[in-house]
Chains A and B, each alone.
Chain A
């Protein structure tokens, strides 16, 4: 009796041990046909989050009545995507972060867009170079860029005045001066950090700090890591010091985690931060939630004072085994075309006007679209701070670089991000952590290169 019970317990335990989780498949019918495309077309990773998405999709549906478009809403999910590809039933198109493209392109899960660009006569010259770099591997285009997010330096002038400083005193070209400025701007009350002075935004912006110091963290072909470059070490050391001078990572991060960047109680409105580089989208949030804030936006600069920024964003990719490549190509062409972007921006401007909110523009991966939007649609709000900020961000778009596509992009990212986190948590010194990251990244890149 007891032996049998034990055997049953063991069998049950082993079954429990082996239990796992399943993937998700996609769906779609065959299609194809005319140059405009027809039949079923499915996408993954895209959603109708706002009028920008909806207007563009509506435009495609109107011009392509023969295409039955099926958009599976929700963010890109690696597991779902791979399961769909492995099951031989992938969506036609996937909307994904551009930095993932190299990995998937190298594995052959997404298709080169050479034919697509040629047949649909997509003008690749209209897209921003930094965005194109991220979707190009070994000279072949694998994605069509969508938005273009850049980073600029946000300054809270209210806080600067309280500290007896001006926006010019926060000089990112002069790294030696930053600790003193940081100390003046940081506020500690009752042993708790109550205002961040300068947030260097590391790990995520380390490539931009390194670039400002003249170093590329990865080679232009995405095949060689360069994490032990003394300039990368110097960039990391500079960022780490700014955080350590504010009480260390634990206090700094836990305070920053309480921020609500999307609400009326944002750190700018509550004077919880003085200076920080951040993506351009924060300007829209600030205009919407804190129109009276004393915000100054400056370009991020290199050590010579030359404007510099890091670009990122999404792209449309065509999956391996896509059943309706023709309609898919027609879709991405229209979604990223100048006129479509313009119509979407117009819808955004009208929505903002109806809500009595300022329209601060739309920044896309298409230079022609941005020019048309800002020349013909955008009107200064009358709030000089925000109008100057829009001009700064617009100019920054032309100074952008991007981390190039890499066959082991995800592993490269993890290697250097982990290194920075190890330094932040006090487990390693910058040089030591980056040396380990270099080893890990090199192993991954070499393996991916085959």
Chain B
């Protein structure tokens, strides 16, 4: 696309006809997304905010109830329980995914000729549908015949009851969540490959060892990617739904045989309130609370990123 250079003069800049025409075309091409965003995201967001102040069961007209739903958020113990589970999962899942992915990416970078093959192998699990992952791990985590406990038995370890012992349900879910860390590995690998070689050479000349090179060259140079995956994985973890719903809530049989306190995630409880108990107003309030939590956590992460994220070309 042709670019238009405009003289940098103080005051209001006059746009050339070409620039105006390009801007018009830009909006034409952006229009499908803008319309989609307004109709499918912003509109429902506004609607759900209004619904959160009503009693609404999807079938009958909403009835204004003021702050009742928000009061119920505080008084319903299941909200706190499911939120606690979700935060616990996030606190385990995000650091683990980042550490393991970084380790794998560093290994991949050294593989050389086989890199393409292993990159594919690591990414393939991401392609598995979430529902299938849930069902697969229900089998793998079976206490008596599951592959995981059989593997532990070979090492002389008596594996836990991953799906029935409340203390082990969450670690089991975290284990399952590592199945799809391939996309994080690929992001880190791309970042690692973008670190300029001359920085390592300069570090070598300064007598830096492997750890020092990693600490003072690699980590700062990939900190942007680390920050991006931190935010994305945190948000995804706080919105965990499909795999766990499939495992523990997906059908009558699973609903009837698992401790739903231990596996209750926030979005799962939200879904139950909305579509099983028909409390759509309360579910909307739950959604907005989650939005606020995500907003605060993300804002804190962005604020903290000032200290540890380095963008190439940036003055520090």
Residues of chain A whose beta carbon lies under 8 Å from any beta carbon of chain B: 1-2, 5-6, 9-10, 13-20, 22, 78-79, 82, 85-86, 103-104, 107-109, 192-193, 203-204, 249-251, 253-255, 257-258, 320, 408, 410-411, 414, 417-418, 421-422, 424-427, 444
Contact = CB atoms under 8 A, between A and B. Distances in A.
21 contacts: A13-B231, A13-B232, A13-B294, A17-B239, A17-B291, A17-B294, A17-B295, A18-B45, A20-B44, A103-B277, A103-B278, A107-B59, A107-B60, A204-B256, A254-B146, A254-B161, A257-B138, A257-B142, A258-B144, A414-B276, A421-B257
Chain B at the A interface: mostly helix, strand, loop or mixed? helix
B52 interface: no
Closest 8 CB pairs of A and B: A250-B161, A254-B143, A17-B294, A109-B59, A254-B144, A425-B259, A250-B164, A421-B259
Nearest to B169: A425
Most buried by B among A204, A253, A444: A253
Nearest to A103: B278
A391 to B, nearest CB: 29
A408 B277 contact: yes
A421 B260 contact: yes
B171 to A, nearest CB: 14
Contacts of B275: 78-79, 82
Interface string B41-63: 10011000000000001111000
A444 B277 contact: yes
Contact of A17 (B235, B257, B305): B235
A324 B227 CA distance: 56
B221 to A, nearest CB: 15
A411 B57 CA distance: 14
A320 B60 CA distance: 10
B255 A417 contact: yes
Given A20-B287, A108-B59, 5 more contacts: A13-B232, A203-B257, A204-B256, A254-B163, A425-B259
Interface in B249-265: 252, 255-262
Interface string B130-141: 000000001000
A6 B144 contact: no
A108 B163 CA distance: 38
B314 interface: yes
A250 B232 contact: no
B152 interface: no
Interface of B: 40-41, 44-45, 57-60, 138, 142-146, 161, 163-166, 227-228, 231-232, 235-236, 238-239, 252, 255-262, 272, 275-278, 287, 290-291, 294-295, 298-299, 302, 305, 311, 313-314
B71 to A, nearest CB: 14
A17 B232 CA distance: 9
B259 A427 contact: yes
Contacts of B257: 203, 253, 421
Contacts of A444: 277
B156 to A, nearest CB: 13
A10 B163 contact: no
A425 B166 contact: yes
Given A5-B311, A250-B165, A253-B164, A22 B278 contact: no
B130 to A, nearest CB: 12
Given A109-B59, A320-B59, A424-B164, A13 B298 contact: yes
B278 A255 contact: no
A271 B146 CA distance: 21
Given A17-B295, A410-B276, A424-B164, A418 B261 contact: yes
B256 A19 contact: no
Most buried by B among A410, A425, A444: A425
Contacts of A422: 259, 261
A203 B252 CA distance: 11
B278 A107 contact: yes
B200 to A, nearest CB: 24
Nearest to B272: A414
Given A1-B311, A5-B311, A17-B294, A86 B59 contact: yes
Contacts of B59: 82, 85-86, 104, 107-109, 320
